[in-house]
Structures are given as structure tokens and as C-alpha cells.
């Protein structure tokens, strides 16, 4: 039975720079990259060197913690650079694409007939396994684990997020195939959750437990959906997959070839051509938005949880959008005492409540200095979960593993706390504190 | 931006390695007061709400202004000046030194600690520094204001780690310190008047001894009665309450439940009839009009750091603050006022209340495990 779940808590930040519903095909980029930094807890071990020829689907590196997990090239071409940062940390592997794209021959099996282990092997070999996220902890799924359920969110509620119905309008068959494939990976259910009133074709997808959600952001966060559909208790494992990656998996099954193209949206007040773009995963930013002006921040993902990306960098593997907003590295005279009509606040100490329809052009200024926890009762209004945010964060800060577990560490990922971080007048780095807490828990368990 | 250039020019002198580098935190305190810094988000959410702790604190200061202005007027009025402006001016001149002493003492200590710890300066004292003179009798010597402020900031706040870590409300702690260390200067019939030789019991004292007061309900509500500077005008305090509630700075749960707890117990005592003090002979709602009840409920009990932090905890905490204040008023003949002790006591209990609320959350989570297996 499908349910409709109505969430009262949350916030839709009305940002300027929404994209038009128009699809463009981005030109082939000069280079594509795969980065281990797009994933949590991966220790990369290289499999290629500069100058090697690769095909789309050839492994570039694997995870030392689990050598079965391969990270593959999205395009065929030549390994152009292995970029390293401080202490020789691997930043990314850049591949210059060939004119003619060749995909590596992968042993594609029919999910309906094959053994589960064969399906797992196919996903591992193609590199698509890295797109399956395991909770607790938000890491790449362990191929040996048996998840109690798999969750897919069919909408993104973050600011300026793409409309999945538009983004995926050609992908119905691929999504059907992808969902059938996911169904073979778990003994439990595959949950698909759409936004009430914007269901699109999602209600027709077969073989899933279909539900709808209504409410403000973070209603589209899969973590919030899990909390309301089948909470994660200690010892549980669930997997989540972004629906665009479900489509890519489905495409592999349907066509027998790895095709890493996807649709993203380019949005934000500083983006010049705001629309949907068809790209290949890992494309250079320049190929998507052209040259970026000074003092503009390029974000792979949304403004709350995305990664800061250099203008000469590459879009993150998990990003379905690029957001361009102005940097806020300016001083503001007596800002804290001013009316600040152009800035947004959930607090009525400012005046945003007067114009709820206004679109705000927000920059990256922190708008204050970091302070200890002072206000109470605020964060819980922006997280529709039965979790005491400040208590959980304090447990993370003092590294108390028992408390972290008891207070809900297994149920949340940093993205779920992003709104709390946004509204916090103490400017506490909640996502980072939680991430550090999760990493500590992984290390200790 | 001329000012900005001046600040940029002198900044190196106050930065680490500069001639006055040891004043780094102090300089930064003044700089961030003048300019919202140009810091951008480095990790986590890329955009942030423009609200910060400075704004939160300034809203509380703003909410205190009506009670402060009325308090100044009332100092003059109680001294026998009938006209509004001269009365206000008289009170202003009496009150100003207290405010200055409280701010200078407290901020000096705060700056010194921030400097030592290499922290940014916290804004919390902007509120505490104004609250302290507002809850003192007007005749209290300035050295007591200074001493109790120093006590509250050092023992009440800094030893716990500063703003956000303190257990007790610093302003109330200052008052409690002064009250118990220098009782004759803090209580009795003479301390409420600025003019020498003037005496008279407060409304609360009259109610406690006779069950009646010589002022009308309206006068008590408006606040033309003797008492600590900020506490007398329930009307002005309610304006402040409206500001705090509308902006969401103070918790409506706490405020409402303090009044509810106070009223519930006042009616209870009235119904039962206790003969220790006479205040239960007066109408129950008098409790909310006289003494520091309203001021404490609006500005003290709602301090987010020292009150309960969970929503459920706030209801319990608030109700007990109100109830205890009335209990002390009714059955303790030694102290006519119960609000100060009641809030301080509940400050100490708030973490315990929260502990049980959070335990319930943990229990719900643990139950999940059993259901599955």
C-alpha cells in the first residue's frame, strides 16, 4: 500500500537563479576526471599511469579497503594526468577523451535470470557499484552485505534542485530496468518515493514500494524518507541509490553497454546559461558552463551540501547540478545591526518574513563568527526526524561513541543536517562535525 | 569606505607578531562589531542565514529597553517627582553609573579571558551587563554592582568555559551574590528609593504581611510601584516579551509555562489556604503583577543556555520555575521574593530534566532494535 507522508518541518530557501526547463547537449569536454574525494572513506590504489589508453568502463583505481570496488573511466581516451595534492594525496585522474568513444566489453547479465552474485559482479566491474551508498555512515556499499531494503528518492527538494521529472523524462525504460536490478540485490523492499503532486511516471514504476512525500526541504532527502518508512536501527544496513544512477544501471542492462551520460542542471544567480545539460559524468566544468568569472563559487551539487569545485575542475560523480553563486568575501559595516532587506533569515529578527515570495541572491559569507551552542529548539524545526541535533553533535564533539549511537548517528548523514547548519546563528560546522563523528565510528567499529 | 581603510591599516599592529598583538581578541571584538567579517563558508553549507549571535543578543537588549526606560522614569516617580521628563532624567542619571559599572567590569573580564584563551569575544554579556543593574535596587552602591558582576562573570561563566557553557544565569547569579553577601544593602524598606531617607515596603512585602497592597492593580501593572529598576512595570515587560516572542529569540514554551505554573500554584494555595504569609489572601493573579515574576519569566527563565534545551523539557522547566517562585513567596516568610531562587534552582535542574527527555528518545531508538529482531 502506498502512503503519503506529510512533513511539517523544513525550509525551502527561495534562491535566485532557477534554471529554465530547456535541455542542451554539452560539447565533449577536453577532459574528464574521476576523484576518490567524491566518496567517503576510500583509500585509492592506482591501476593506471599517465599515457595509458582506457575505455569507458576501464578501472582507473580501486579501494584498498575493499579491492573489489573499482572506479572506472566514464570515457575512452588517454590518461592525461594523475593529480595529487598535499602529502601526495590523490585528487583525481584526468582522462583526455577520444573522438570515437569505445565502451569496454562488460559481461552484462539479465537481472531477472542471473544469480545475485553475477549481478553484483557486473556492477562492480562497470564501476557502477560505487554509486550505491550504504547507511549507516554514507559509504560505498559493501558487496558482501545484505541490505534490509534499498531506498530511492524520486525528487530533490534542495534549493534550485533539478526537476527530476524533466531530467529523467526519456529514462522511463532505463529506470524500470534499474529498479528491477536493485530488487535482486535485497531480500527486502525497494522503496521509491516521489513528491506528492509531481509524481510524473514514478507511480508507474514496477516492482517497487511506492510512496509519496509532501513538505519542504529536506523531504526529498533519502535519509528523511528512510526515517519515515523504515527506520535504521543498530545492526541494520540499507542502501540508497540516486535515481539518475538507477537509470544508468538500467541502461547498462538494456543496451549491454556502459553509458555514463546524464542530465544535470546549471543554476544559481551567477550562472549565465541556466538550463539542463546533457553531459558525461566527470566532465570538466569549463565544458559545461564555459569560463567562470572572478569571485564566483562553483558548487558540484546544491548550495547546502555540494562540493566547492575549482573553475578548472570537474563535476563530482554524485552531482546532478552545478550551482554558481557569488563569493561573499566582503566586509559589511555594522551588518548585524542593519535591517538587511536583501539577505535571508528564518529569524524574524530580520525582515525576510515580510516578503515570503522574494527570491534571494545569497553569497557565501558566513554572516557572523563561530560561537558555542547558544540557541536551543531551533535545529529540530529543520530536521523532520526524531533526533536531538545538538545532543548528537555534542556527542560527536566529545567522541562518545555510545552516546553517538544512542542519539541517532546511524540515521543521519551530513546532508540531513545541512539546513540546521544553514539556520544556525552560532555558525557551527555541523556537517563536518557529524562527518568526523561518523568516520570515528567507522574506525572504531 | 574610509573607516574600513583605517581598520585595515591598524590591523597588522594588533595581529599576531604586531606591536600590540596581545590585544588581538580585543581588536577583533571591535572590528567584528564595526564590520561583519569577510569570512566565507569553507566547509558544509555554502550559504548561511544572515542571523548571528550578535543579532540575537541585540534583539534581547532591544526588548529590555521599554522596561529600562520605564524603570528610569519610575526611579524619579518613586522619589516624588510627578512630572514625566524630570522624573525620567532623575532616574537616568541614577541608573547610568550602574549600567556603566556593570558593562565595564563585565566586559573587561570577558575581554581578558577571550584574550587569554585566544577566543573571539562572545556577545552574551551585552545582555547580562544590562540585566544586572535592572534587577538591583536603585540605591545599591556601585562597588557592589562591580563586585557581583565580577563574581557572576568569573565564577558563574568563565570557569565553566564562557558563554554557552554556564550552568546559572549570570545576571541572576550576580543578584544572588549581592543579596546573600550584602543583605542589608539589598533588602529592607529603604533600598528601593534613590532619595535619602525615603522608605516604604514593596508591593510584594505588603502582600506578604497584610495580604493587601496600597496600589491599585492598574498601577502595579503599569509599574508605578517600588522595586528593582526593571521589574516593576509588567506592561513594559510585556512589550519586551512581545518582541522576544515575535522574533522567536525566546522560547514561548518556557514563557507560557512559567506563567501557567505560577498561576496554577497561586490558585492552589488560595484554595488550600496557607497561613505562613498573607499573600495567598490576595487574588492569585497578583503574583504575576508584583515583584520580579514577570521580569524573571520573560528575560531570565528564557535564557537558552541555562534553561532546558528540549521542547518537552522546556514545558516542565518553565512550569516548575513559576510554581517554585510562588511556593517560596507563599510559604517562606524569610524571602518575600521567590523568582530569583526559583530560576537559579531550576537552572541547576534543567540538565536533569533534559537528561530524562533525551533518555526517552534513546529508549524509542532502542525499541526499534527489538522490533526488528
Contact A154, A171 (CB under 8 A): no
Q: Could you give phi then psi for residue A57, rounded to 5 degrees? A: 105, -5
Q: Could you say which of B46, B364, B366 has the minimum Cβ distance to residue A303?
A: B46
Q: Kindly state the helix (H) or strand (E) to which residue B311 belongs, with its residue range.
A: helix B311-331
Domain boundaries, chain B: 53-360
Strands A149-153 and A189-195 turn out to be: parallel
User: Is A388–B310 a contact, with Cβ atoms under 8 angstroms apart?
Assistant: yes
User: Is A367–B52 a contact, with Cβ atoms under 8 angstroms apart?
Assistant: yes
Nearest CA in chain B to A304: B45
Contact list in B for residue A368 (CB cut-off 8 A) is 36-37, 48, 51-55
**Alpha helix positions (H), B118-153:** 124-134, 142-151
Please tell me the predicted confidence (pLDDT) of residue B371.
57
Q: What is the least distance, in Å, from the CA of B257 to any CA of chain A?
A: 16
Please tell me the predicted confidence (pLDDT) of residue B370.
62
Is the confidence at residue A5, as pLDDT, over 60?
yes
Is the confidence at residue A352, as pLDDT, over 90?
no
Please tell me the predicted confidence (pLDDT) of residue B200.
79
Q: Could you say which of A13, A234, A347 has the minimum Cβ distance to residue B51?
A: A347
Q: Which strands make up the sheet holding A66-72, listed edge to edge?
A: A44-46, A59-63, A66-72
Q: Grid coordinates in use for B327?
A: 511556593
B368 closest CA partner among A342, A117, A234: A234
pLDDT digits (tens, 9 = 90+) for A129-187: 999 999 999 999 999 999 999 999 999 999 999 999 999 999 999 999 999 999 999 99
User: Is B44–A430 a contact, with Cβ atoms under 8 angstroms apart?
Assistant: yes
Q: What is the least distance, in Å, from the CA of B155 to any CA of chain A?
A: 19
Q: Which residues contact A99 (CB under 8 A, 6 or more apart)?
A: none
Q: What is the least distance, in Å, from the CA of A390 to any CA of chain B?
A: 9
Contact list in B for residue A233 (CB cut-off 8 A) is 365, 368-369, 371-372
Q: Grid coordinates in use for B42?
A: 569553507
How is residue A426 annotated by DSSP?
Answer: T
pLDDT digits (tens, 9 = 90+) for A190-216: 999 999 999 999 999 988 999 999 999
Q: Which residue has the higher pLDDT, A62 or A332?
A: A62
B139 closest CA partner among B237, B226, B236: B226
Rounded CA gap, A76 and A95, in Å?
A: 8
Contact A417, B30 (CB under 8 A): no
Rounded CA gap, B303 and B285, in Å?
A: 24
Q: Could you say which of A329, A374, A422 has the minimum Cβ distance to residue B40?
A: A329
Nearest CA in chain A to B163: A372
Q: What is the least distance, in Å, from the CA of A427 to any CA of chain B?
A: 7
Contact of A233 with chain B, judged by CB distance below 8 Å, is answered with: yes
Rounded CA gap, B150 and B160, in Å?
A: 14
Neighbours of A100 (CB within 10 A): 6
Please tell me the predicted confidence (pLDDT) of residue A338.
78
Contact B299, B340 (CB under 8 A): no
- DSSP strand E in A23-127: where? 23-25, 32-34, 44-46, 53-54, 59-63, 66-72, 77-84, 90-97
Q: What is the least distance, in Å, from the CA of B104 to any CA of chain A?
A: 22
Radius of gyration of chain A (CA): 21
Give me chain A's average pLDDT, please. Answer: 93
Please tell me the predicted confidence (pLDDT) of residue B373.
47
CA distances from A370 to B58, B112, B185 (A): 17, 19, 41
Q: List the 310-339 stretch of A: residues with Cβ below 8 A of B.
A: 323, 325, 327-337
Contact of A397 with chain B, judged by CB distance below 8 Å, is answered with: no
Contact list in A for residue B362 (CB cut-off 8 A) is 406-407
Q: Could you say which of A367, A414, A431 has the minimum Cβ distance to residue B50?
A: A367
> What percent of chain A is modeled with pLDDT above 70?
100
Contact of A343 with chain B, judged by CB distance below 8 Å, is answered with: yes
Rounded CA gap, A289 and A307, in Å?
A: 16
The predicted model scores a pTM of: 0.92
CATH of B53-360, one of 1.10.260, 3.40.1800, 1.20.1180, 1.10.3430: 1.10.3430
Please tell me the predicted confidence (pLDDT) of residue B220.
87
Q: For chain B, which ranges sit under pLDDT 70?
A: 1, 370-373
ipTM: 0.91
Please tell me the predicted confidence (pLDDT) of residue B279.
77
How is residue B70 annotated by DSSP?
Answer: H
User: Is B124–A380 a contact, with Cβ atoms under 8 angstroms apart?
Assistant: no
Neighbours of B156 (CB within 10 A): 24
How is residue A56 annotated by DSSP?
Answer: B
Q: Which residue has the higher pLDDT, A307 or B185?
A: A307
Q: Which residues contact B323 (CB under 8 A, 6 or more apart)?
A: B261, B262, B264, B265
Amino acid at each position: 500500500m502506498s502512503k503519503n507522508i506529510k512533513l511539517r518541518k523544513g525550509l525551502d530557501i527561495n534562491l535566485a537563479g532557477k534554471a529554465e526547463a530547456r535541455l542542451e547537449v554539452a560539447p565533449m569536454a577536453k577532459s574528464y576526471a574521476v576523484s576518490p574525494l567524491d566518496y567517503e572513506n576510500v583509500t585509492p590504489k592506482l591501476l593506471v599511469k599517465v599515457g595509458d589508453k582506457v575505455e569507458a568502463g576501464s578501472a582507473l583505481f580501486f579501494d584498498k579497503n575493499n579491492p573489489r570496488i573499482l572506479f572506472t573511466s566514464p570515457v575512452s581516451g588517454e590518461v592525461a594526468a594523475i593529480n595529487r595534492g598535499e602529502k601526495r594525496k590523490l585528487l583525481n585522474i584526468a582522462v583526455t577523451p577520444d573522438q570515437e568513444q569505445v565502451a569496454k566489453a562488460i559481461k552484462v547479465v539479465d537481472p531477472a535470470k542471473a544469480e545475485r552474485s553475477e549481478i553484483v559482479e557486473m556492477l562492480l566491474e562497470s564501476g557502477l557499484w560505487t554509486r550505491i551508498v550504504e547507511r549507516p555512515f554514507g559509504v560505498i556499499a559493501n558487496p558482501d552485505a545484505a541490505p534490509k531494503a534499498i531506498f530511492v528518492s524520486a525528487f530533490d527538494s534542495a534549493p534550485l534542485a533539478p526537476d527530476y521529472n524533466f531530467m529523467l523524462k526519456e529514462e522511463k525504460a532505463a529506470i524500470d530496468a534499474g529498479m528491477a536490478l536493485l530488487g535482486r540485490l535485497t531480500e527486502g523492499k525497494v522503496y521509491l518515493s516521489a513528491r506528492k503532486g509531481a509524481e510524473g511516471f514514478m507511480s508507474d514504476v514496477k516492482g517497487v514500494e511506492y510512496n509519496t512525500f509532501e513538505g519542504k526541504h529536506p523531504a526529498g532527502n533519502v535519509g528523511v524518507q528512510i526515517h519515515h518508512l523504515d527506520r535504521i536501527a543498530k545492526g541494520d544496513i540499507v542502501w540508497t541509490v540516486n535515481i539518475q544512477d538507477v537509470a544508468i544501471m538500467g541502461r547498462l542492462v538494456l543496451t549491454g553497454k556502459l553509458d555514463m551520460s546524464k542530465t544535470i542542471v546549471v543554476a544559481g544567480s551567477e550562472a549565465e546559461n541556466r538550463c539542463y545539460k546533457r553531459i558525461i559524468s566527470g566532465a570538466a566544468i569549463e565544458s559545461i558552463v564555459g569560463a567562470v568569472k572572478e569571485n564566483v563559487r562553483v558548487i558540484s551539487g546544491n548550495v547546502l551540501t555540494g562540493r566547492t569545485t575549482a573553475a578548472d575542475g570537474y563535476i563530482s560523480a554524485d552531482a546532478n547540478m552545478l550551482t554558481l553563486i557569488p563569493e561573499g568575501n566582503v566586509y559589511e559595516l555594522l551588518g548585524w545591526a542593519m535591517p538587511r532587506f536583501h539577505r535571508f533569515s528564518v529569524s524574524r529578527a530580520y525582515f525576510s518574513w515580510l516578503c515570503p515570495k522574494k527570491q534571494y541572491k545569497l553569497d557565501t559569507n558566513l554572516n557572523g563568527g563561530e560561537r558555542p551552542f547558544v540557541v536551543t529548539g531551533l535545529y529540530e524545526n529543520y530536521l523532520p526526524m526524531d533526533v536531538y541535533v545538538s545532543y548528537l553533535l555534542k556527542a560527536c564533539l566529545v567522541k562518545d561513541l555510545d552516546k553517538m549511537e544512542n542519539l541517532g548517528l546511524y540515521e543521519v548523514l551530513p546532508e540531513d543536517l545541512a539546513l540546521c547548519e544553514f539556520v544556525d546563528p552560532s555558525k557551527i560546522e555541523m556537517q563536518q562535525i557529524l562527518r568526523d563523528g561518523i568516520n570515528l565510528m567507522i574506525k572504531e567499529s | 569606505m574610509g573607516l574600513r581603510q583605517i581598520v585595515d591599516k591598524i590591523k597588522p599592529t594588533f595581529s599576531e607578531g604586531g606591536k600590540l598583538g596581545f590585544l588581538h581578541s580585543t581588536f577583533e571584538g571591535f572590528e567584528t562589531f564595526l564590520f561583519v567579517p569577510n569570512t566565507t563558508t569553507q566547509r558544509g553549507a555554502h550559504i548561511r542565514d544572515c542571523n548571528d549571535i550578535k543579532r540575537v543578543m541585540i534583539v534581547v537588549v532591544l526588548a529590555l529597553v521599554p522596561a529600562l526606560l520605564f524603570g528610569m522614569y519610575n526611579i524619579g516617580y518613586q522619589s516624588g517627582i510627578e512630572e514625566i521628563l524630570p522624573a525620567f532624567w532623575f532616574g537616568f542619571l541614577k541608573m547610568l553609573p550602574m549600567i556603566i559599572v556593570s558593562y565595564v567590569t563585565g566586559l573587561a573580564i570577558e575581554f581578558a579571558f577571550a584574550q587569554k584563551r585566544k577566543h573571539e569575544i562572545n556577545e552574551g554579556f551585552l545582555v547580562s551587563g544590562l540585566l544586572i543593574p535592572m534587577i538591583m535596587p536603585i540605591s545599591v552602591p556601585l562597588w557592589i554592582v562591580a563586585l557581583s558582576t565580577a563574581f557572576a562573570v568569573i565564577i558563574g561563566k568563565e570557569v565553566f568555559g564562557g558563554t554557552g557553557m554556564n550552568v546559572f544565569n549570570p545576571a541572576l547569579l550576580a543578584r544572588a551574590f549581592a543579596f546573600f553577601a550584602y543583605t542589608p544593602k539589598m533588602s529592607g524598606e529603604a533600598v528601593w528609593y534613590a532619595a535619602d531617607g525615603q522608605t516604604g515596603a514593596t508591593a510584594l512585602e505588603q502582600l506578604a504581611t497584610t495580604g493587601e497592597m496600597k496600589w491599585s492593580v492598574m498601577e502595579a501593572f503599569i509599574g508605578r510601584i517600588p522595586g528593582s529598576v526593571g521589574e516593576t512595570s509588567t506592561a513594559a515587560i510585556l512589550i519586551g516579551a512581545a518582541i522576544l516572542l515575535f522574533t522567536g529569540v525566546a522560547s514561548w514554551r518556557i514563557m507560557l509555562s512559567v506563567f501557567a505554573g505560577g498561576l496554577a500554584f497561586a490558585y492552589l494555595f488560595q484554595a488550600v489556604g496557607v497561613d505562613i504569609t498573607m499573600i495567598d489572601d490576595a487574588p492569585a493573579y497578583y503574583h504575576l503583577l508584583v515583584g520580579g515574576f514577570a521580569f524573571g519569566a520573560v528575560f531570565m527563565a528564557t535564557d537558552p543556555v541555562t534553561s532546558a534545551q528540549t521542547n518537552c523539557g522546556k514545558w516542565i522547566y518553565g512550569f516548575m520555575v513559576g510554581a517554585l517562585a510562588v511556593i517560596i513567596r507563599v510559604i517562606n516568610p524569610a524571602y518575600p521574593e521567590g523568582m530569583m531562587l526559583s530560576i537559579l534552582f531550576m537552572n541547576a535542574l534543567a540538565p536533569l530534566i533534559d537528561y530524562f527527555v533525551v533518555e526517552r528518545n534513546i529508549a524509542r531508538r532502542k525499541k526499534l532494535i527489538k522490533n526488528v529482531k
